[in-house]
Every structure is written in structure tokens, then in C-alpha cells.
Structure 1
Amino acid sequence: MSFEDWRRIDVDKYDPDYQYTPDELPEEKAGATAADMQALTQTLRGLIQRMEIAQAFATAIEYAPYGAAEEVRVSFLKAVFEIFVSVKMNDVAGITKQLDLDTLDTVVKFLYTLMGKDWALKQSGLLLVWLDKIVEQVGEGPIIRYLSDPYKL
């Protein structure tokens, strides 16, 4: 970009309140359906039963329905919520150590989104344990990245 092009910069896309439209998201994420979420939920439950929690998070992240309809996002969040509540509090630290930084960033995004849901409030203590163990391990970086992330679930 040359000096003359400064007037052509789309400053709105740097606004933290800017909402992405479905056509700006990858097709497979914007077009997720309830049937897709049902299949994902079954896959996640299988991983949870085998206690492959790190793989469950990786699968959930891969198929996160950004830009999908509200009922699809709620179904997805309930499936992710099952991952969090299936782990005993004593095992949380061990699992967070298995996750890389990018995965931890997304897990923090899931945690904050779930903390805002009425149906997840009964387990807010467990969600806070997850957040505490992540911050213990890598610091406040994931929280800061969540706050500045334009993609919301």
C-alpha cells in the first residue's frame, strides 16, 4: 500500500463492534445445520466416553458454527459444555497442559460464551476452575485475545 492509498482503508473492519456477515465466513461454518450439530454431538460424546478430551476440543474447534442460526449455535455450545462438565476438577490442570496455545485461546472463548448462558450457570464454578488453570498455565493472554476477537459464537 502506498501513501496515496490511505483514504481507501476500510476503517470499519477494525472496529471491535464490527459484525461479520455470513458471506465473509467460510461456507462450511456459515451453513451448519441442526443435523450437523447432532452428528457432532455424537462424535464429541464418543470422545468424552474414551476420555480423549484434547481430541474433543480439537473436533469442536474444527466444526464451530460461526455465523450459523441461533439454535445451531446453542446446540453446539451445549455439546461443548458436555466436554467441560465431563472432566473432574482434579483432572483439569492435566488436560490444559495437553492443549496448545491456539486451542487454549478457543477454550477460553468457549468458557466466556458459556458463562453468559443461563443453562450453564449451575456449573459456573467448574467453568471458572478451567479458566483458572488456563491462566495459571499460560497467563492472561487468552483472555485478552478473547476480548479482542471479532468472531463470536
Structure 2
Amino acid sequence: MTERTTERQLREAGTLASRRLAGAVAQLERHRRHQEQAATIKTADMRLLWLFSDRRPRTLRCIVDDLGLERSTVNRQVNAAMAAGLLRRYRNSAQSAHLIEATEAGLAAFEEEVRDVLESYDLAIARFDPADAQRLLDLFDRFVDVFGEIVRADV
């Protein structure tokens, strides 16, 4: 608990609004997991390909830092992605460390998956009138920013 957490705030935790939001977020996560399970590229590969979508080669150390994961986890995921033809490893004569980059096939598969996900978002947003859609996006952006400030302040 931080100094900012007051007794009153603790009593109010779990309000109808926070519980409703938690339920909606949980339902959204279930929908996202369903979509991820149906995808041809799995979550770990998508995370790697998202990182490499800027087309910049990286060392394993850089990938570890960028993803904030354990080196052994990243190494295992990179090796699996290379075996699937999504990434490739090579050595640049100017550097001692191997570089890793997305293959053209990996980037094409990534773009197809992203297109499918974004299309489902577009279809859902299209069911709102334009003003409601804009308001939803504005409020969601604000909520994510404020929530991030709150949870990061407690660390």
C-alpha cells in the first residue's frame, strides 16, 4: 500500500464501476485469446514480429531488453521463430554478436495477422455511430493512460 492509498479508498475498492470494468476487460481478454488461438502465428511469434516490423536487425541482448523477458525465454522463442522461417540469424563482419531479423515471409505473415485483427476491430467500431466510436476511443485512451500512471506509481 502506498501513502496515497487512503482508508476511504480501500473501503471503496470494488465499487460497481470497477467491478463492471474488470468484467468487461476480462471478457475482452477472452475474445482476444480466442482470436489468438485461431491465428496462424502464435502469440510469442507475433510479439517478436511486432518488434521486428520496423525492419531493424537486433542482437539477442537487444531483443531481451526490448521485450523485458528472460534471456532463456527469448532465446527459445527466437529459435522457434527461426525454425518456422519467420526470423533469420546472421553475423555482420562489423559486429561480434549475431544479428537477428525478420524474414520477408515472417513480415508478410505478420502483416496478414495484423490485418485480420485490425479488421475485427474495425468491424466492431463500425457498429457504433461515428460520435460514439470517437468518444469510446478517446475515453479508452484516457483510461489506459491514467491506469498506467496509477499502477506504475505503486511500483
Q: Say yes or no: TM over 0.5.
A: no
TM bracket, shorter-chain basis: under 0.3
Which structure ranks higher in relative contact order (CA pairs < 8 Å, sequence separation ≥ 6)? Answer: 1
* Bigger Rg over Cα: 2
The alignment's TM-score, normalised by the length of structure 1, stands at 0.27
Q: Which has the higher strand share?
A: 2
Superposition TM-score, scaled by structure 2 size: 0.26
Larger helix fraction of residues: 1
